Amino acid sequence: MANSDILLSNAHEFVDQEIGLTDWLDIDQMQVNIFGEVTRWPTWMHNDRDRAARESPYGGTIIHGFFLLSLITYFVRMGGINPADGAYSLNYGMDKARILKPVVIGDGIRVRDRIGLMKVVDKGEGRRLITTSHHIEIASLDGPAAYVEYLNMWFPKTD
């Protein structure tokens, strides 16, 4: 789903609306293992399938909460909500991030994001600080597995 109507100049008109719903994204154990290695957090509950099957209260390995959160910038792009008159954006941080449910990897999971527009702040010279809400859903779970309020500083295109 893409929302090509959103511009930096009119983003404020979309506050309190859902502006994007991404396609499903497949995540598997290999990706979780790589994330664990790259972040220096390859713990057994995330990366050791045999031990997690025996000892974890979840019956298998679970995806890193930070892995789910790290997908936000991908989902913003995939959701087609980049303002057409924006040249680029910089990650400005998060106001709120919650991991609401452990997500068992098993043979793989499917993840998608419901994106809402929460707030737009004019920062002068055409720049906008845009806050979006993200309800990260897992195909096999009811309700979101994670919730994030993401801040993105957008810079306008110049002639």
Domain boundaries, the chain: 11-156
CATH of the domain spanning 11-156, picked from 3.30.1120.10, 3.40.50.880, 3.40.1590.10, 3.10.129.10: 3.10.129.10
Calpha distance 77→93 (Å, rounded) = 16
Closest CA to 71 of 108, 106, 23: 23
pTM over 0.85: yes
End-to-end Cα, the chain, rounded Å: 29
Give Dmax (Cα) for the chain: 61
Q: Which helix (H) or strand (E) holds 68?
A: helix 65-70
pLDDT in tens, 94-129: 999 999 999 999 999 999 999 999 999 999 999 999
